[in-house]
Amino acid sequence: MKTMDLLYDLLMDKINSQVFYNDIMVRMVNPAARELFKTLRDDEEKRLQEIRRQFLALESAPMRVKHYTRGLRP
């Protein structure tokens, strides 16, 4: 599996986790439990930002040519 595919899967997993924590947080009556899920959600957001940075860095990196066609070399 390519690095981009792995990062995309990780990105989607973190987004799903964030949605999960947010859904639970808004249903919580206990303020301490609500704060716990808010903290977990915010931690996922920090990780999500880092993954997005890595994803964008890979997308913007110049593509390396690993092979050349025989006869076209200068």
The whole domain housing 38 covers 3-57
Q: Write the CB contacts of 13 (distance below 8 Å, at least 6 apart in sequence).
A: none
DSSP state of 44: H
Run of H or E including 28:
none
- For residue 73, what pLDDT band results from cuts at 50, 70 and 90? low
Number of domains comprising the chain: 1
| Predicted local distance difference test score (pLDDT) of residue 72 | 58
pTM score:
0.70
- CB-CB contact of 24 with 37 (8 Å): yes
Residue 69 domain-assigned? no
Residue 9 domain-assigned? yes
pLDDT in tens, 20-64: 999 999 999 999 999 999 999 999 999 999 988 988 888 787 767
Residue 41 domain-assigned? yes
Residue 67 domain-assigned? no
Distance, CA of 51 to CA of 74 (rounded, Å): 40
Residue 28 domain-assigned? yes
